[in-house]
A and B are shown apart, each in its own frame.
Chain A
Amino acid sequence: MVSRPSSDRSGATAVDGPLRPSDHLDKTGERGAADDGSPAQPVLGVVGWLRWGWRQLTSMRTALVLLLLLAIAAIPGSLVPQRSADPNGVTQWRATNPDLYPTFETLQLFDVYSSVWFSAIYILLFISLIGCVLPRTKHHWKALRARPPRTPARLSRLDDHVESRVAVPEGEDAAGHAAHAVDLAEAQLRSARYRVERYDRNGVASVSAERGYLRETGNLIFHGALVGVLLSVGIGGGFTYTGQTVITEGDGFVNSLGLGYTSFNPGRFVDTEALTPYSITLDRFDVTYAPPPSGQAGDFAAHVTTRFPGQKAEDQVIEVNHPITMAGDRVYLMGNGYAPTITVRNGAGDVVFSESVPFLPQSPTMTSSGVVKIPDTGGEQLGLVGFFYPTVATLQSGALTSAYGDLVDPRLTFFVYEGDLGIDNGDARSVYALDTDGMTEIAGRNADTPSLELSPGQTVQLPGGRGSVTFEDETKNGAPESVKRYVSLSIHNDSSAPWVLAFAILAMVGLFTALFVPRRRMWVKATPGGDAVTLEYAGLARGEDPAIAIAVADLAQRHGRALDDEPASAPGVPANVN
């Protein structure tokens, strides 16, 4: 509205208004005036500067600027792949932008949310927050005990003001009737959950009422709970661990660092020796495929048997969105694939390898790739690079592909290499990759023998009498399908998560009250004048309060009606004039 005087100015005393940062608009006194660049300040000492800096940091304006900076600073992390969420994306990005990579790396653009600049913003913001909330809490604590403020001398100057005159009933004096009317108003306001205080003087009776302290309480709870969320996340990170494992049908996993995990990331304070050694065995993995052309896979369900040491086994199902809980760990189903069982014999006919090997899916139709490494053959070391097609089909180029994710016509192909696997020197090597430097291809595109191609139950000979490779048909061993499936599980322990949730809900509740509980002051004043009493009702909103005018009108109406209904001449109502 054009040049409307702020309603805050009128009447209200500063004493018990919520203490807010110096530039906060809702303040009542002009405490902040000195901050707004008052010119002739004395020379500041170190303490003075510190105090000035602190006041700046905890000001509303700084909070706002830091909030906006936080929003802006969060954006790059959605544009550039982040190491924490998408490490492969970072590798790819590096390959496509080799020139920019070092600059981005220096700017920590691949680790935005743990970068120095992002951290600086949110840490400053939270320091500002704490510096803001603590004094306000203290002040609010006092305000909760303070009396509602004195009735302003001229209520008519308030925006929301209603006035009426009532005649003094027969046989009563005006002052007595005024006091009685205010008694009634006091009772009404009290039952409407206002805190009330009488200010009667010189025959003029008035009641001052205030409600909605909950608004400031909610605001403080909200901001405090944000600190709670941050602390829970920060401290909780040290006690969190996550690990991954892969289990093939029929196999099991033991929750122990040496035994079960393919990878494990403990927080700083995790005692890795103290893991509960429960076990999980994968009995069966279910999945359904929509008919072609969509072929979409769904209804993933890992049927497992779980067991704590010395206790009875239990059957459970792990599904997407439905992790199971083991000793405080949550066990998630993250992925699945095929693990063809492969048996390799050497030239002498001895079995040198027989395992179900997990193959990594490469496409929605489950074309999968995997590697077999055989260090001990009795002769040269062997390495097999394989592709698996659950439903084999031939592309126009002649290359094989999978047409469908389910096992309709499974096929396994291998390139075979001979030589040094490079695993003797102790380097950690991925089980999913074969380093073919220093190896000779003996079957495949660059060899005299074409790549091996097998269906379940089939055996093919390796060239040069080196032995044979068998793709086992698992139905022969009583399995329901010719090829076993595997699942990858993710195991998480985050004991801070419940705290984070609790603080988040607390913040939400605080926010709700802070935004929707109206905080207002009301006054009812009765001024005797001859044979009539002038009644004045006025209200003052403290903060956002769209309904204040209605509230004042309501009060006037209800009070007027009550006065009419209950003639003051009724006996037993002592005139209460202090």
Chain B
Amino acid sequence: MSFDDISVLLLWTAIAIYTLGFLAFTVDLARRSELAIKAQDAKARTLVAAGGGGQTIDEIHAEEAAAKVALEAAPSKRGRYLFARLGVVLTTIGFLFHVGADVTRGIAAGRVPWSNNYEFALTGTMLVVMVFLTVLVKYDLRFLGAFINGLIVILLGGAALAYYVEVVPLSDPLKSVWLVIHVFVASLASAFFALAFALSIVQLLQSRRERIALAAVGSDAAPRTRLPFLRTLPSAEVLESLAYRFAIIGFVLWTFTLIAGAIWANDAWGRYWGFDTKEVWTFVIWVVYAGYIHARATRGWRGTRSAWLSIVGFTAVLFNFTIVNQFFQGLHSYSGLPS
């Protein structure tokens, strides 16, 4: 059995464990929903006599404050959601297998395991999980677990099926320290963008729920929410500023990626910038996130609109990595896939 065979085996094991992690986190969200509904029902029952189903503004604020405290609680003081804890354990085990798959692929290739699409996917998703698990120490973002695990299973499974290539020697232009630095930092930036993306999506859901809840203040009917677990999550504003924090780390790393790429291009092709397709997309992504940062400071754009920009930004990252790498003509033909 070669190292590459071992790598593939570890990879599929990791995917299987991530799938279990996804299930555990999904059950967790379902149970949170249940709790939230129960609480609402109990309240409705007591309120029937009093004649009011919606929350009062103070109740809403109390809920938000509690969620914010929960978000920032130290790991030992967090809500003891059984399935969320199971999810974290599974994600961590999946991650260890994932690291194993990445390292053995690197050993098989005798170089860093990020020099074709298959390997970019392998390492990039590994960094997403790494960043997620690291951030968990500081913030209780377990509510993102289902999303992150789901995303990873899709990307990793897709890459293993569609992008797998045997180890081949590097082509000359790739033999450079910049392969190690530029590509790694780009993947790390993408990992932060991924987390911001996940948070922005939850932010959008949350702000919709908040609008409905606010409208229901003082009315008779309890607001109907399709995803009741949202009530246990931080407010849209807290989610937004968290998303922003990850996005700006990603943005600084992406800026570095852009500069490092230009230095590399200057060594390899004799010009630092030539609007090659891959350069164009790196630039587009950079500008979109610059737009996102501006939007956060622009009246009328903070909140929902800026969240959309974060979503567009990460969509562009995925597009750049899949479609552009594979189908667009250019000097950066490093997907390793037959064209």
**Which positions in A face B, CB cutoff 8 Å?**
1-4, 20, 23-26, 32, 36, 60-61, 63-64, 67-68, 70-71, 74-75, 77-79, 81-82, 84-86, 89, 112-113, 233, 242, 290, 294, 296, 298-300, 319-323, 330, 332, 334, 490, 492, 494, 497, 500-501, 504-505, 507-508, 511-512, 515-516, 544, 546
User: Whole-angstrom distance between the alpha carbons of A2 and B57 in the complex?
Assistant: 9
Complex contact B294–A298 (CB within 8 A): no
Interface contact A320-B287, CB-CB below 8 Å: no
Complex: A26 Cα to B294 Cα, angstroms: 12
Residues on A with C-beta less than 8 A from B81 are none
A323 touches B288 (CB 8 A): no
Query: What's the Cα separation between A445 and B34 when bound, in Å?
Result: 82
Interface flag for B321 (CB, 8 Å): no
A74 x B298 contact (CB < 8 A): no
Among the 9-residue stretches B110-118, B223-231, B232-240, the one with 4 or more Cβ atoms under 8 Å from chain A is B232-240
B294–A67 touching, CB < 8 Å:
yes
12 A-B pairs within 8 Å (CB atoms) are namely A1-B235, A4-B237, A24-B298, A25-B299, A68-B287, A71-B287, A242-B271, A294-B168, A319-B172, A321-B172, A494-B272, A511-B252
Q: Given the complex, which residues of A lie within 8 Å of B97, measured CB to CB?
A: none
Q: Are B263 and A546 touching (Cβ within 8 A)?
A: no
List chain B residues, Cβ under 8 A from A497: 266, 272
Q: For the complex formed, measure the closest distance between the CB of B251 and the CB atoms of chain A, giving whole angstroms.
A: 8
Contacts of B273 in A (CB 8 A): 233
Q: What chain B residues lie within 8 Å of A516 (beta carbons)?
A: 248
Q: Measured between C-beta atoms, what is the minimum distance from B68 to chain A in Å?
A: 8
Q: Mark B298-316, 1 if CB is under 8 A from A, else 0.
A: 1111100000010000000
Distance in Å from the Cβ of B203 to the closest Cβ of chain A? 12
Q: How far is the CA of A433 from the CA of B128 in the complex (A)?
A: 53
Q: Which residues of B contact A70 (CB under 8 A)?
A: 287
Which residues on A sit within 8 Å (CB–CB) of B83? none
Most buried by B among A67, A323, A330, A334: A67
> B277 touching A78 by the CB < 8 A rule?
yes
Contact B173 A321 (CB under 8 A): yes
Cβ contacts under 8 Å, A511 to chain B? 251-252, 255
B3 within 8 Å of A by Cβ?
Answer: no
Shortest Cβ-Cβ A-B pairs, 7 listed: A320-B172, A1-B237, A71-B287, A78-B280, A78-B277, A67-B291, A332-B270
Interface size class of B (residues with CB under 8 A): 35 or more
Whole-angstrom distance between the Cβ of A438 and the nearest chain B Cβ: 37
- Interface flags for B252-265 (1: CB within 8 Å of A; 0: not) read 10011001001110
Q: How far is the CA of A197 from the CA of B247 in the complex (A)?
A: 36
How far, in Å, is B232 (CB) from chain A's closest CB? Answer: 15
A78: min CB distance to chain B, Å: 4
Could you tell me if B255 and A60 are in contact, using CB atoms closer than 8 angstroms?
no
- Chain A residues lying within 8 Å of B238, measured Cβ to Cβ, are 1
Q: B173 to chain A: which residues have CB within 8 Å?
A: 320-321
Docked-complex contact B252 and A75, CB < 8 angstroms:
no
Cβ of A315 to closest chain B Cβ, rounded Å? 21
Out of A36, A296, A500, A508, name the residue touching B256 (CB < 8 Å).
A508
Can you name the residue of chain B whose Cβ is closest to the Cβ of A66?
B291
Q: Is the CB–CB distance between B168 and A544 below 8 Å? A: no
Cα–Cα, bound, A139→B57 (Å): 41
- Known contacts A64-B298, A322-B267, A334-B270; is-contact A515 B281 (Cβ 8 Å): no
In the complex, A322→B173 CA distance in Å? Answer: 10
CA distance A511 to B254 in the complex (A): 12
- Which of the residues B64, B274, B298 comes within 8 Å of A1, measured between beta carbons? B64
Most chain B CB atoms below 10 A, which of A32, A79, A511: A511
Q: Does B60 lie at the interface of the complex (its beta carbon under 8 Å from any beta carbon of A)?
A: yes
**A554 CB → nearest B CB, Å:** 15
Q: Is B298 touching A25 in the complex (CB atoms < 8 A)?
A: yes
Interface residues of B in 6-64 (CB under 8 A from A): 57, 60-61, 64
A113 touches B329 (CB 8 A): no
Report B289-339 residues with CB < 8 Å from chain A CB: 290-291, 294-302, 309, 324, 328-331
Which of A74, A112, A299, A512 touches B287 (beta carbons < 8 Å)?
Answer: A74
B268 touches A320 (CB 8 A): yes
Shortest Cβ distance from A299 into B: residue: B172
* Chain B residues, CB < 8 A from A300: 172
Q: Is B144 an interface residue (CB 8 A)?
A: no
